[in-house]
Structure 1
Amino acid sequence: MPLPTDRLVLRAVQADDDGMLTRIWTDPDVRRYMGGSVPQDVVRQRNRDFVGKPGKYCVTLRVTGQPIGLLGIGQDHRSGHLEVSYGLLPEHWRRGYAQEAILALLAWAFDRLPDTDVIVANTRADNAPSRQLLQAIGAQFVESFGEGGEESVMYAMTRREDPTSV
């Protein structure tokens, strides 16, 4: 079921989102803090696997329907909590879209999943823009941890009366 916001629509990933997905997996700016570009055979497999997959959302501009990124929610193996993940194409950075999309997904999750009181997000410790985004939505720093030779950090968002209020 699509999830509209003021400027965006979060919807299921479709086969024709292939171009946007390929850029999410291969763009050097997007992949800077995520281990670099993904090999083409993995890109093709991920693109197929994400179509219609529960918990994976294509972020689109509400007015045009243009896909601009990917948003996901799924199990965090480190904490056992749900984890939100996100990636937008660079030409759509610094416009508040990621914040708008994440807040909408959090509101939906806290509303629809009554046993969920905490949702986490993990990012590399040196990814200042991602850390600033998480702090802007009210996420609280939980811990630092090493993963694959890189230091990462975990932030947590907790259920509030109105999860869209920051």
Structure 2
Amino acid sequence: MADSVPSRPALTVPLPTARLVLRAVQPDDDPMLTRIWTDPDVRRYMGGPLSSEVVRHRNGDFVGKPGKYCVTLRATLEPIGLLGIGRDHRSGHLEVSYGLLPEHWRRGYAQEAILALLAWAFERLPDADVIVANTRADNAPSRQLLQAIGAECVESFGEGDESVMYAMARRQFLTPP
């Protein structure tokens, strides 16, 4: 990883996929953000729902910030989740994070959104050779998602190895010229 890779890459225009649009988080996304932070199913592997004070702070911290993106349905532009990309403090690589509202799980949206964000990041950041994702070791759906996009489990960490790091390499997402 080179020092020239920004710590929070900025998606400056919406990024469409077949069924989704990734865009900057807007103030109108507050209800979706609040649900992401407070839904017990979404927060099951992340310490549970957050307090209202933390939710207010976090919602404000996401609006218009580089590296924080809203996932919307392309047909309706309904916000259904979040994607993030920023520096992983443990490895120094960029890390992708994700969360969708439960009613949109198991439809392939997370995979579609993450693949689009990875392709975008690898295309625009030539010094980023690897992007990582961290999840809990017991979060089988998240691990299956990462494996489905071709990520490789490269490390276990935390007390009792309760967390795992997956890596996605540039060569997996870009074809040579």
Tell me which residue corresponds to 2:26: 14
1:111 aligns with 2:123: yes
Deviation at 1:19, TM superposition (A): 0.3
Equivalent-residue separation in structure 1 for 2:27 and 2:69 (angstroms): 13
Identity of aligned residues (%): 85
SS at match of 1:155: strand
The alignment yields a C-alpha RMSD, in angstroms, of: 1.4
Report the alpha carbon displacement of residue 76 of structure 1 after superposing the two structures with TM: 0.1
What is the CA-CA distance between 1:160 and the residue it aligns to? 1.9
1:154 aligns with 2:165: yes
**2:168 is matched by which residue type in structure 1?**
M
Letter in 1 for 2:80: I
C-alpha distance in 2, partners of 1:161/1:151? Answer: 27
Q: Which amino acid aligns with 1:153?
A: V
Shift >3 Å, 4+ stretches: 161-164
Q: Give, as a single letter, the amino acid of the residue that structure 1 aligns with 2:166.
A: Y
Give the structure with the larger strand fraction: 1
Map of 2:4 onto structure 1: none
- 3-state SS of paired residue (1:94): coil
Distance in 2 (alpha carbons) for counterparts of 1:161 and 1:90: 29
Q: Distance in 2 between matches of 1:161 and 1:53?
A: 28
Describe the superposition over 1:96-142 as per-residue Cα deviations: whole angstroms up to 9, x where unpaired: 00000000000000000000000000000000000000000000010
| Aligned positions of 1:33-48 closer than 5 A | 33-48=45-60
Report the CA distance between 1:162 and its aligned residue: 4.0
- Aligned partners of 1:71 and 1:85 also within 8 Å: yes
The question of 1:23 aligning with 2:22 is answered no
Q: Is the contact made by 1:106 and 1:163 (CA closer than 8 Å) also made in structure 2?
A: no
Please say if residues 122 and 173 of structure 2, whose CA atoms lie closer than 8 Å, have aligned partners that are also in contact: no
- Counting matched residue pairs gives 163
Give 3-state SS (helix, strand or coil) of 2:56's partner.
helix
Residues 123, 174 of structure 2: 8 Å contact kept: no
TM-score by length of 2: 0.89
CA distance in 2, matches of 1:145, 1:160: 25
Letter in 1 for 2:67: G
Give the conservation status (yes or no) of the 8 Å contact 2:42–2:102. Answer: yes
Secondary structure of 2:18's aligned partner: coil
